[in-house]
Amino acid sequence: MFVRIVKMKFVKENIPLFKAVFEESKQTIRSSEGCTFLELYQDKKDKTIFFTYSYWEEEANLETYRNSDFFKLVWARTKVLFSAKPEAWSVNKVESLP
């Protein structure tokens, strides 16, 4: 399993639209094969910055999702709302404490 972290910065006026896109998409993303967890975070100080955290069983699962028509549609709707280039990391979870 690994974690995909995506940092996105939006034009302030576009935040409600982004939240609507995420709300419409989140169940489909979460139910994608190999996706075991999905969360959305908003920065406490800069309200235009959001992060998604998703857990994937295999890198191939993420790549299948990223190459899907669904992802391409969601990404097309989302990327026009950015005020800066998004950043993404794929990381291995080393330890987790409940």
Q: Tell me how crowded residue 54 is: count the other CB atoms within 10 A of its CB.
A: 21
pLDDT at 20: 98
What is the rounded average pLDDT of the residues 21-25? 98
What is the model's pLDDT at position 11?
A: 98
Average pLDDT, the chain: 97
Q: What are 67-91's pLDDT values in tens digits?
A: 999 999 999 999 999 999 999 999 9
Residue 37 phi/psi, 5° resolution? -165, 140
Tokens read off for 69? 């028509």
For residue 97, what pLDDT band results from cuts at 50, 70 and 90? Answer: very high
Residues pairing with 41 in the sheet? 51
Residue 98 pLDDT more than 90? no
- CATH number for domain 2-91, candidates 3.30.1120.130, 3.30.460.10, 3.30.70.100, 3.30.365.10: 3.30.70.100
